[in-house]
Amino acid sequence: MPQIYRDNHSSLSKLLEEAGANGNATLLIPDIQRPYVWSPRQVTLLVDSLLRGWPFGSLLLWSVGKDQVAKMPWREFTHIIDRVDSTSEGVSTKQQPATYRMVLDGQQRVQSLLLAFGKEDWGFKLKDAAWNEVMKDKKPRGRAASHWSLGLLCLDLVELQSAVKSRKFAHVDFSSGPLTWATLSSKKHRSETKRSRNYAYPLEAADDPECLGRFVRLSRLWDIAGDQSIQNSEDYEEAVKDLFEQHTTQLDLANELQKPLEDMVRKLREVRDTRVTFLEVDQYDKKWAKNRCIWSRW
């Protein structure tokens, strides 16, 4: 009897590229899978666990040919989880490779890391009432308004500064403040509906004058960690200095966080290289399936 599955593995960064982080998806989701249901808080906890060195866990994938993909319902991973308009936009599949792989188990984790480490506009679009529950862990009183915000996972440099003052970088709990959801654009990433003068926004905006240089999109650090030209201590130092300069981070804050950010980039490189194991089911073979039916009679 032929074996219909095999043990396989890949680096975490390569897996996310196949899921569409590079804009060309070959890792897809069969429509028998439930929709994405995780919350922004769960995404933060997953990233925190990886930064602490916890394993990503195994996956179950199914290898399918190009002809099979055309005959079955499937969907791509999405770059914005839209829980306001109930719409989504998948990543593109520009070319047609000979084989694809379908995620049978592990969709929630893969999608979560795409939202965390993907491009500049990957995140959650939620109503502000929902964001208040995420950020403040309580439901706001009164009637829920229609205002919404697009949140992206960022590193809050002010919170990180506070965290590293009381403990070493290796012991920082990123889920308690340093990793947070913020909007990058107060105009593009918030609904245009008029708000009251004293409206309390659930998410900080990176382009707010009081927040300039404070929030760094996590995907930016992920990309730096993937730059193979960065090899020695001087390279890490220069890369982080460039990052602070691009974000116009205040000099005193940048100086204090220079080493912690270098450590974080090194840690993210380890996360990128994390070995992800998966059980891969081979393509459907009609001949084998026919023989299996015959054998099952005995």
Strand partners, 78: 90
For residues 225-249, one letter each, b for 16 or more C-beta atoms within 10 angstroms of the residue's C-beta and e for the rest, the string is bbeeebeeeeebeebbbebbeebeb
* Of 157, 200, 196, residue with least CA distance to 180: 157
Element containing residue 219 per DSSP (H, E): helix 218-225
**Listed range (168-182, 212-226, 256-270, 282-296) with the worst mean pLDDT:** 282-296
Strand partners, 8: 278
Strand partners, 182: 152
Helical packing angle, 218-225 and 107-117, nearest 10°: 90
Q: Assign 258 to helix, strand or coil.
A: helix
267 — pLDDT class (breaks 50, 70, 90) = very high
**Listed range (71-80, 155-164, 205-214, 244-253) with the worst mean pLDDT:** 71-80
- pLDDT at residue number 196: 87
Question: What does the CA dihedral 193, 197, 199, 200 come to, rounded to 10 degrees?
Answer: 130
Angle, CA 47 vertex, CA 253 and CA 277 arms, to 5°:
140
**Cβ–Cβ under 8 Å, residues 257 and 164:** yes
The whole-angstrom distance between residue 158's C-alpha and the CA centroid of its chain comes to 22
Q: What is the pTM of this model?
A: 0.88
27 — pLDDT class (breaks 50, 70, 90) = very high
Question: What does the CA dihedral 9, 13, 18, 22 come to, rounded to 10 degrees?
Answer: -170
Query: Which sequence spans correspond to the domains of the chain?
Result: 5-291
Which residue is associated with the tokens 């981070």?
249
53: left (phi over 0), alpha (psi -120 to 50) or beta: left
Element containing residue 291 per DSSP (H, E): helix 286-295
* Of 6, 11, 28, residue with least CA distance to 19: 28
Mean pLDDT of the region 48-55: 94
Residue 37 has pLDDT above 80, yes or no: yes
Q: Please return the burial class of 155, using the count of CB atoms within 10 Å of its CB with bins 0-12, 13-18 and 19+.
A: buried
Tens of pLDDT along 156-192? 999 999 999 988 888 999 999 999 999 999 999 999 9
**Cβ–Cβ under 8 Å, residues 53 and 66:** no
Tokens of 203: 């998410």
One-letter identity of residue 71:
K
Q: Please return the burial class of 130, using the count of CB atoms within 10 Å of its CB with bins 0-12, 13-18 and 19+.
A: buried
Compare 291 and 183 and report the one with higher pLDDT: 183
Give the β-pairing of 99-105 and 27-30.
Answer: parallel
- pLDDT at residue number 294: 38
The whole-angstrom distance between residue 249's C-alpha and the CA centroid of its chain comes to 24
Residue 1 has pLDDT above 90, yes or no: no
- pLDDT at residue number 65: 85
**Cβ–Cβ under 8 Å, residues 77 and 30:** no
145 — pLDDT class (breaks 50, 70, 90) = confident
- pLDDT at residue number 144: 57
Mean pLDDT taken over the chain: 88
